[in-house]
């Protein structure tokens, strides 16, 4: 397909995002193509490892291409979005459990759907331009694509902080938070890729000392509070106006649900459990949350003035995370 360059070179299967002008946003068709490719290469003796990278300097993948989901939801078609999220999450789970090494080279923006592709690879390489984030609270969604699993395993209260604020991480913070493994200047990536293609030897991945990680020394104790309201109170007492301003612009429902979900994911034994919980929210997102309004304000009209209306009460969060019955996302077959 035009948006992906899929080929085999030497010992490696190669998947390259080629939508640089669209910041390599992940469409439904791209998610299905990645799934089909990984399925085909699973038992292919020619493919010893998989390399995922992207064209363009600005982004590895800046998120999911959700314009079609927005338009369908606005017209009352909620099934299109449900299929997109379900297929995307299956692809995320496939990457996480893949029996062969997957090496992701993540430059520039790596957000939302981009984290779902690169963040679950077995070998995750970042560079000086890397900016990783889960900014879904700003569009009325929740950290998905296995994001709650990754956030739940970040040290201290970094997971809660990132889920509620959508803050961006450079290479040092991404490694500290568990979203990446290796720092290597991007000028050295082409040579490493060529050597991996030729040899299949993962020991060639030799990183350098990463840049500083500001999150290591940040006081995030406010994010240990029980509720979003309690967190806001603690931030007010600490005089953290900058963080308070960010939270004031995000969806109250998304923050409340995200907080619950990151903490619930800490008890998950496998990422598939986190994905299934995320799907309960996103299955209902176009019909019963702030998602359509968030996409309108941030992506469609770009007025940056969302009118958040969804109920952020604990009862509504619980309802949105309740099992889906016959629509539950079952990824158990990937165990």
Q: Tell me the C-alpha distance between 145 and 91, whole Å.
A: 9
**Cβ(173)–Cβ(215) below 8 Å:** yes
In degrees and rounded to multiples of 5, residue 35 shows phi and psi of -60, -50
Active-site residue flag, 273 = no
Positions of E strands within the chain: 4-9, 12-17, 49-54, 59-61, 102-106, 109-111, 123-126, 131-133, 182-183
Active-site residue flag, 65 = no
Q: Tell me the C-alpha distance between 202 and 123, whole Å.
A: 9
Task: Point out the catalytic residue in the list 13, 48, 63, 64.
Answer: 64
Task: Point out the catalytic residue in the list 53, 65, 88, 136.
Answer: 136
Task: Point out the catalytic residue in the list 113, 118, 119, 127.
Answer: 113
Task: Point out the catalytic residue in the list 144, 197, 278, 290.
Answer: 144
Active-site residue flag, 287 = no
Active-site residue flag, 144 = yes
The 3-state DSSP class for residue 273 equals helix
Residues 6+ apart with CB under 8 A from 1: 29, 30, 33
**Cβ(14)–Cβ(51) below 8 Å:** yes
Q: Tell me the C-alpha distance between 255 and 207, whole Å.
A: 35
- H or E stretch at 147: helix 147-152
Beta strands across the sheet bearing 102-106: 4-9, 12-17, 49-54, 102-106, 123-126, 182-183
Catalytic residue positions, numbered: 64, 113, 136, 144
């Amino acid at each position: 397909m035009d948006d992906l360059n899929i080929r085999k070179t030497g010992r490696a299967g190669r998947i390259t995002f080629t939508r640089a002008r669209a910041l390599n946003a992940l469409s439904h068709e791209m998610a299905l193509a990645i799934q089909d490719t990984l399925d085909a290469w699973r038992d292919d003796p020619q493919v010893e490892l998989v390399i995922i990278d992207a064209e363009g300097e600005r982004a590895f993948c800046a998120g999911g291409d959700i314009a079609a989901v927005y338009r369908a939801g606005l017209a009352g078609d909620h099934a299109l979005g449900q299929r997109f999220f379900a297929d995307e999450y299956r692809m995320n789970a496939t990457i996480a459990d893949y029996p062969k090494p997957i090496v992701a080279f993540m430059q520039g923006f790596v957000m939302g759907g981009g984290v779902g592709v690169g963040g679950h690879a077995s070998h995750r390489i970042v560079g000086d331009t890397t900016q990783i984030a889960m900014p879904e609270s700003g569009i009325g969604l929740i950290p998905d694509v296995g994001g709650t699993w990754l956030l739940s395993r970040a040290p201290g209260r970094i997971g809660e902080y990132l889920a509620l604020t959508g803050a961006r991480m450079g290479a040092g913070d991404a490694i500290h938070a568990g979203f990446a493994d290796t720092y290597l200047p991007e000028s050295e990536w082409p040579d490493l890729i060529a050597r991996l293609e030729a040899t299949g030897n993962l020991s060639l991945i030799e990183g350098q000392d990463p840049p500083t990680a500001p999150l290591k020394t940040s006081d995030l104790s406010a994010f240990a509070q029980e509720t979003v309201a309690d967190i806001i109170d603690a931030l007010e007492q600490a005089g953290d106006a900058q963080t308070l301003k960010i939270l004031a612009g995000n969806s109250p429902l998304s923050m409340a649900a995200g907080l619950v979900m990151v903490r619930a994911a800490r008890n998950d034994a496998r990422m598939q459990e986190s994905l299934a919980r995320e799907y309960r929210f996103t299955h209902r997102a176009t019909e019963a949350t702030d998602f359509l309004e968030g996409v309108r304000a941030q992506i469609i009209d770009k007025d940056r003035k969302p009118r958040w209306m969804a109920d952020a009460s604990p009862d509504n969060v619980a309802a949105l995370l309740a099992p889906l019955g016959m629509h539950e996302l079952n990824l158990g077959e990937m165990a």
